[in-house]
Amino acid sequence: MAETASTVIRDALQEILVQAAEQPITAAEGQGAMRLLTRMMAAWVSDGVDLSFTPVDSLNDSITVVDGALDAIVLNLAVKLAPQYDRPVTQSLYMNAKDAYEAALKIAVAVPDTAFPATLPYGSGNEDKGHNFSNYYPGPSSE
Distance, in Å, from the CA atom of 2 to the CA atom of 109, rounded to the nearest integer, reads 24
Q: Comparing 141 with 55, which gets the higher pLDDT?
A: 55
Task: Specify the higher pLDDT residue, 16 or 140.
Answer: 16
Burial class, 118, CB count within 10 angstroms (exposed 0-12 / middle 13-18 / buried 19+): exposed
C-alpha distances in Å from residue 134, one per residue of 15, 47, 69, 106, 140: 57, 40, 45, 35, 15
| pTM given for the model | 0.75
Query: Predicted confidence band at 143 (pLDDT cuts at 50, 70, 90)?
Result: very low
Helix and strand tally (H, E) in the chain? Answer: 4, 0
Q: Does the pLDDT value for residue 121 go beyond 80? A: no
Confidence at 1, pLDDT banded by 50, 70, 90: low
Would you state the pLDDT for residue 125? 58
Mind listing the pLDDT tens digit for each residue in 16-59? Answer: 988 776 788 888 888 999 999 999 999 999 998 889 898 888 99
pLDDT tens per residue, range 74-117: 999 999 999 999 999 999 999 999 999 999 999 887 777 887 78
pLDDT at 123: 67
Task: Examine the pLDDT at 118 and tell me if it is beyond 60.
Answer: yes
d(CA 75, CA 93): 7
What pLDDT score was predicted for residue 130? 57
Q: Is the pLDDT of residue 70 over 90?
A: yes
Q: Which residue has the higher pLDDT, 56 or 138?
A: 56
